[in-house]
Structure 1
């Protein structure tokens, strides 16, 4: 759903009898444009017929971090402990927020539960997310803590060399806050968690919403520790090699080790496992099948958004009831699309773009 379509739906919810002319005047567009948007909403199933009868909308909920990303790109080989000529870009980021934007670009209605400061970065993040079609109505806003900031230095290949994350505000995503948003969580088609959340909040979510379908992005090895003892409560997990080692307690040096780690996750109750291996590809499986998808080598403009695109694609494929193999291939292609642009979120991320990438690389 586009940002404009969301605006139209919101106005219709407020007044189901509103005319197309009134919609056009409220939004500052022509009546013919309003009619086109309404036709698109009907095609997508959000409006069921005349009189603007609205379908109860399915949605994914993402609970996790949102921050302002500051990326430094050197013009040549990065020299440590020195000033490097290059370019600096500022853009919305945060694992949870990035996954939410990618999901929205794939046409999934998504609600983001995160914490923002009442500062310039928080205002910018809020506006950017709403413009991207993300429902931000349920965020927590803090008057005393700044919006999270992520400072990243990339090397000449586009890989992260070093980073600092100031994310204290995410501690405000508390159990009390989650209780207030229980109705949002209960009615979500699936819930994606990142481990930027406080450990007690993660535990509460997994223990008190056991009828929900949880997906996990572990974020990092240190933060993955928060859910190691409750890993079996997730439907789908997307660790990289190091995170999989932390979560399973198994050292991974070979494909046989990958299989052992995956089998451990299945024994704990996980339904689907995707262990991402960077340029090598992804090891994936469920309780009945496991396989290794080797990805073609591609140049990277910025590697920081690939995992978020992969995670969003996993959720999209689950909602579309795609097979295990098709899911792995679609998610890998989404990550490769993300790699090809300097922005953390590829501005042209879409189902068509991913499918074109699959055809281009024979994925």
Structure 2
């Protein structure tokens, strides 16, 4: 779909009875040009003939971060407070964007609502999104602003040693802006939210769209605090142990503590809970089933994108009506694929490869 076709489709979504003359006036093009674009949208299956009937094509909406990742990889043991010989790699990142790219690779139509600058990095993010088929036409593009940047240093095991995030631009996403995206959010089957965006925006989205299921990626311990007071609005929550402790106010030292934390979240209203535990796998729970799944030993090349791949797999499982244990296994398998490549997004991410990795997943 071309950029112009995407623009026309979004206008029609807001007003399905709009005329071609009205479209031409809004877009500043001739009516005949509008007619050609409409014909192409029908041919491509996005519109089902006259009357602007939309194809029933479920999609996931994501509200979250899109940024540039700069990563440093030491050649040998990382030495702090010193210059380390190694390699530096720049790639596209951001929790929301990463989840979106993984979902596209899993065959799920996805629309990302984020905030970027009109700089070279923002242009790169938009161009790459267009090439891979990740919708970003509803994102906020700010003139004269710098696109969010995330700088991380990995240790010799591929785990993050330290990072600096320059993400002030996300504070520019406002409730008024997100109100204008009501149709995008409401028409999605599922909405994934990451905590890079302001708490006021998250709270508005959750309370204004009560019939929609929301998934949460807490991103970090500090940002997890943003959703503590309205955690119960989420259908599915994916956190690590420390983030869970922050949200629930409960220390987690053993299996019983995990169960108590899950019970706390269920009482608040959360339907599905996934608590990632590193090498110890993931604890999962809903109102009827709970357990843990682990993976056989896997060499970590870059652990940065594991969580993004995990929640993308959970969203895929939701879209395909899978049970919670199967969902947890898909998440672990996707994480294994993610950490086995130096890039945050493994180019070989696919549902076929996830299914192959499922053989390495153990239920406990």
- TM-score over 0.5 for the pair: yes
- 1:3 is matched with none
- 2:238 is matched with 238
- 2:118 is matched with 118
Provide structure 1 residue ranges, at least 5 long, that are not aligned to the other structure: 1-5, 24-37
- 2:63 is matched with 63
Please state whether the residue corresponding to 1:238 is helix, strand or coil: strand
- 1:249 is matched with 249
Deviation at residue 121 of structure 1 after TM alignment: 0.5
Distance 1:126 1:310 in 2: 24
Note if 1:341 corresponds to 2:319: no
- 1:135 is matched with 135
- 1:156 is matched with 156
Distance 1:157 1:130 in 2: 34
Please state whether the residue corresponding to 1:144 is helix, strand or coil: coil
- 1:314 is matched with 314
Please state whether the residue corresponding to 1:359 is helix, strand or coil: helix
Matches within 5 A, 1:138-217: 138-217=138-217
Deviation at residue 15 of structure 1 after TM alignment: 3.7
The change in CA–CA distance for 1:19 and 1:350 in structure 2 (over 3 A counts) is: closer
- 1:301 is matched with 301
Distance 1:305 1:360 in 2: 19
Deviation at residue 61 of structure 1 after TM alignment: 0.5
Q: Contact (CA 8 Å) 1:16, 1:53: kept in 2 or not? A: no
Q: Which moved more, 1:145-154 or 1:125-134?
A: 125-134
Deviation at residue 202 of structure 1 after TM alignment: 1.1
The change in CA–CA distance for 1:19 and 1:283 in structure 2 (over 3 A counts) is: closer
Note if 1:290 corresponds to 2:290: yes
Q: Contact (CA 8 Å) 2:70, 2:151: kept in 1 or not? A: yes
Scaled by the length of structure 2, the TM-score of the pair is: 0.87
Deviation at residue 56 of structure 1 after TM alignment: 3.1
Please state whether the residue corresponding to 1:303 is helix, strand or coil: coil
Deviations 1:223-243 (A, max 9, x none): 000110111100000000000
Aligned length: 334
Deviations 1:218-259 (A, max 9, x none): 001110001101111000000000000011111000011000
Matches within 5 A, 1:43-122: 55-122=55-122
Q: Which moved more, 1:202-211 or 1:99-108?
A: 202-211
Deviation at residue 208 of structure 1 after TM alignment: 1.3
- 1:270 is matched with 270
Please state whether the residue corresponding to 1:316 is helix, strand or coil: helix
- 1:355 is matched with 355
Deviations 1:169-205 (A, max 9, x none): 1112110110111111111101000000111111111
Deviation at residue 360 of structure 1 after TM alignment: 5.1
Provide structure 2 residue ranges, at least 5 long, that are not aligned to the other structure: 10-35
Distance 1:214 1:344 in 2: 24
Distance 2:144 2:311 in 1: 32
Task: Let me know the Cα RMSD of the aligned residues.
Answer: 2.3
Deviations 1:48-72 (A, max 9, x none): 89xx996232111000011000000
Deviations 1:303-350 (A, max 9, x none): 000000001000110010001111110111000000100000001111
Deviations 1:243-284 (A, max 9, x none): 000111110000110000001100111000000011110000
The change in CA–CA distance for 1:19 and 1:179 in structure 2 (over 3 A counts) is: closer
- 2:20 is matched with none
Please state whether the residue corresponding to 1:124 is helix, strand or coil: helix
Deviation at residue 130 of structure 1 after TM alignment: 1.4
Please state whether the residue corresponding to 1:315 is helix, strand or coil: helix
Deviation at residue 210 of structure 1 after TM alignment: 1.2
Q: Which moved more, 1:158-167 or 1:11-20?
A: 11-20
Deviation at residue 47 of structure 1 after TM alignment: 8.5
Scaled by the length of structure 1, the TM-score of the pair is: 0.87
Q: Contact (CA 8 Å) 2:41, 2:47: kept in 1 or not? A: no
Structure 1's consecutive aligned runs of 4 or more residues displaced over 6 angstroms after TM superposition are 46-49
